[in-house]
Amino acid sequence: MSDLTHIDAQGNANMVDVTQKSVTEREARAEGYVYMNQNTFDLIVSRGHKKGDVLAIAQIAGIQAAKRTSDLIPLCHPLMLTSVKVHLEPEAPTDEQPQPRVRIESLCKLAGQTGVEMEALTAVSVAALTLYDMCKAVDKAMRIEGIQLLEKRGGKSGHYQTPSASQSK
């Protein structure tokens, strides 16, 4: 019927059976950006926001989200993550990128039977949403863009790197 792994032959939703898959080391990296006005950027960088250190709060939210991915995304397996890292980096405007932004990158790891791409993507997404939530009172025009898988390692399909990943570092 389809090459989609979460749909069975009758078109019904299906949680993929990973029972026979080998346990291997797996990891995934993802990224995303939150664009904002200069005043909001300055407030974040100076840690002068009345809600506190919004970058630290977004970092914790991203880590927590990775751990709860199977509760948020239907048909995802609950995973025993061995490492989750979320890094938020304010990026001042440049000639190539004239609007201030915060770059968010996640790295998720485990030894298991299925990959951690969704956990890495969820970590970035929720960190970005948290940053937006913390700052929306001062900048409703913020936008979240560019959430993507950068790289994955392990499993049957091996190593994958997004073509733009080498340029994003």
Q: In 3-state terms, what secondary structure has residue 55?
A: helix
Nearest to 63 by CA among 110, 107, 117, 116: 107
So which residues are the catalytic ones?
133
CA angle 105, 107, 24 (to 5 degrees): 155
Angular region, 52: left φ>0, alpha ψ -120 to 50, beta rest: left
> Do 139 and 37 meet the contact criterion of CB atoms below 8 Å apart?
yes
Task: Please name which of 169, 138, 168, 145 lies closest in space to residue 41, comparing C-alpha atoms.
Answer: 138
Residue 25 to residue 111: CA distance in whole angstroms: 4
Give the H/E segment covering residue 40.
helix 38-45
Instruction: Determine the residue type at 102.
Output: V
